[in-house]
Every structure is written in structure tokens, then in C-alpha cells.
Amino acid sequence: MTTRSRAVVLQKFDQPLEIREYDVPKPREMSAVVRVRYAGVCGTDVHLQAGKLPVPTPVVLGHEAVGQISALGPGLTHDVLGNPLRPGDWVSWLNNIACGRCRFCLVEQQPTLCTGNRKVYGINQSADSWPHLSGGWSDYIYLQPGTVLVRIPEVATPQQVISLGCAGPTAVHGALNEVQVRFGDTVVVQGSGPVGLASAMYAHLAGAAKVIIVGGPTARLDLAKQLGVGHHHLDIFEITDAAERVQLVRQETSRNAGADVVIEATGVPSAVAEAIDYARPDAAISVVGQYTDHGTTPINPHLITRKNLNISGSWGFGARHYIGYIASLPKLLEHFDLGRLVTEYSLTEANSAIEDAKAGSVLKAVLRVGDE
């Protein structure tokens, strides 16, 4: 096995990312070393570089990746679903390890709210601390004991798996578990980034009669149309007035009453108030997009009461959401060409990839590792 690995490191906030090298450790008990092949660039990575989340630096970025097993530690013989593991197998993994002991892990069964020492690959593990390679933007990653490791199903290519990165399981949590889309529903999805499009895809699969995407820029909406994601598309850069957007969306609903389900996946605080206006009485709203704090926004709470709305927050994802995403891939691939979401970059082009993701000029930037 190679003894050194390149890694893309966030050394200082608001500064270009750096390439550093680290020793590749041998896997200890119940651990694995994986040769990374594809690593996704997420909006959270943009926020990390900007210093919007409290994380240790230096840190090897990359909380979504797929690769091939390079070495298995003693005791690690099967993935979480019971499939045998061998060197060379293609695998993916949940990007966090909850403590398994706190109230939210054991009693509430909401490990995304873990108050213990929850480890997140590519986010909160310092590159200065062993095993150093704790992020996916690297040639190799060290997967620690307790990682939810899944062998990739043969029906999906690694590029297809990474195409929705953490957006897929985030959407499973927010668009399927926190709300329930029923056959015949009208669903509004705010946002046309990876989380928004993944949410819209799951709304289709759940039997929604009409899926309305409110987002932009135009190129993203055009791609959604080409992929068959959404029945009606509203460009927020063309329709800039929120009241006009609400009127146009409600015209697409039964008796202009509003949507049965609204999924907010924008990251813009004012979108939450707009979601309330889109919703019919007794509708369900899932707030998925407010992962980082972009500030407060005015909301009329009377509308929540008068409409008898059911509003849920959705923070990240846990093991069941990630496994749900992997299990859904065959059905997703029957309906949508996920590979078309991806724009590839080499590992050494990480700064360009994160800048393009920040600008919204690509839908899903992915680092292709090892083929330079």
C-alpha cells in the first residue's frame, strides 16, 4: 500500500486551499483505509472555507466521497448491511459517527442531534491529529471504528453515487422522513441545487402528481427540465417579487389553495416565510436548507396557526437516511440520469471547484482523485 497521500487542506479561513501530504496509516481494529476515487464539493465546504462554521484548522475537507477499499483492519469483515468486504470493493460511507450514548442517540433516536463527541469526516477532525486523513479530498481516507460503511450496489456507478453526495440522504431525511409526500400531492420545492433537486426527485418517486421547483439560475432549471425533474419551474431571477411568485405557484395548485407539501432547500432565511405562503391549510413544510446561520427573517406566526401548518426542521442525516439513499439508487437511476449533474475536476483543481460551486456555475462539482 502507498505510504503517502496528498490531501486538500483548509489551513486558514478565507484563504486558498493547500495540498499537503501525510503518511497513510495501517488500519487498526474495525477500521479501514479507502482509496478515494470521487469526492463531492458541497455548499457546506464553501461555508467552511468562509469560516461560517466553527471547525478546527487545519482540516482535510471532504465529507462526501466514494472509493475502493485499500486495507481492512482486524474484525472488519462486512459492511453495515452484512455484505462481505474485500480489498478493491467499491464503498461509500456515512460522513459522521455519533457517540451512541447521549439522549438523542439512544432515547430520541435522532443521532444528527448527538451531543457527545460526534465526529464528522472533512469537517471537525483536525489534520494535525492522528489519523490525519479524515477527509475525502485526499488520495486515501482512514475510516474509523463505528463508521457506517456500505458496499456500492452493482447497479450504480461510483460517479452516480457521488452525484447527489450528501444531498441524497439529506433529502431522504427532510423530504421523506420529516414530511410525507402522498400519491396525488402537489409539492413545491424551493431551491434547485443538489438538495432541492434530490428532494424533487424523491417527491416524484413518492407519487406526487405535480412537483413545482422554485429556484435558479436558469441553467439549473433547464437541466432539471431535461432530466424530467419537476413539472413546473419558476426562475427566481426572472420573477424577483416574492408576492408574484406566490401568486404564480398557487395558480398551479388545486383551487389556488396552495401546495400539500413545501420543501425549503435554499439556505435563504426569507424563503421560509415564502414557504408558509405557498402552503395550503393543514399542509406540511420541511425546512432543510438552513444548515448555516444566515440570520433572522420576519415571519407571521398567525399564518402557522390559522393554516394549522405542520413545520419540521431537518438537520443533516443519520445512518437510516444514508442507507435509505443507497437503497433508493436503483429506483432513482430508472428515472433520472444522475451522472449529468456532475462536473469533474482533478484533486489539484480543488480551489477552482469550490469557486465554481460558490458561484453556482456548476450543479455538482466532484473531484476525480488519482487520474491526473
pLDDT, tens digit, for every residue of 271-291?
999 999 999 999 999 999 998
Contact 64, 165 (CB under 8 A): yes
Q: Which part of the chain has CATH 3.40.50.720?
A: 167-313
The CATH code that applies to domain 4-164+318-368 is: 3.90.180.10
Give the pLDDT confidence score for residue 54 in this predicted structure: 87
Q: How far apart are CA 157 and CA 312, in angstroms?
A: 33
Give Cβ neighbours of residue 214 (< 8 Å, ≥ 6 apart): 188, 189, 190, 191, 234, 236, 245, 249, 278
Q: How far apart are CA 230 and CA 353, in angstroms?
A: 27
Q: Which part of the chain has CATH 3.90.180.10?
A: 4-164+318-368
Amino acid at 127: A
Whose CA is closest to 343, among 162, 218, 168? Answer: 162
Give Cβ neighbours of residue 276 (< 8 Å, ≥ 6 apart): 285, 299, 300, 303, 304, 307, 309
| Coil, strand or helix at 164 | coil
Whose CA is closest to 59, among 29, 22, 33, 34? Answer: 22
Q: How far apart are CA 231 and CA 40, in angstroms?
A: 28
How far, in Å, are 27, 57, 89, 242 from residue 86 at the CA level? 14, 33, 6, 53
| Highest CATH level, class, for 167-313 | alpha beta
Q: How far apart are CA 130 and CA 92, in angstroms?
A: 22
Give the pLDDT confidence score for residue 86 in this predicted structure: 97
Question: 12: which strand partners?
Answer: none
Q: How far apart are CA 306 and CA 152, in angstroms?
A: 46
- Angle among Cα 93, 124, 95 to the nearest 5 degrees reads 10
| Residues of the chain scoring pLDDT < 50 | none
| Coil, strand or helix at 345 | strand
Give the pLDDT confidence score for residue 99 in this predicted structure: 94
Give the pLDDT confidence score for residue 53 in this predicted structure: 86
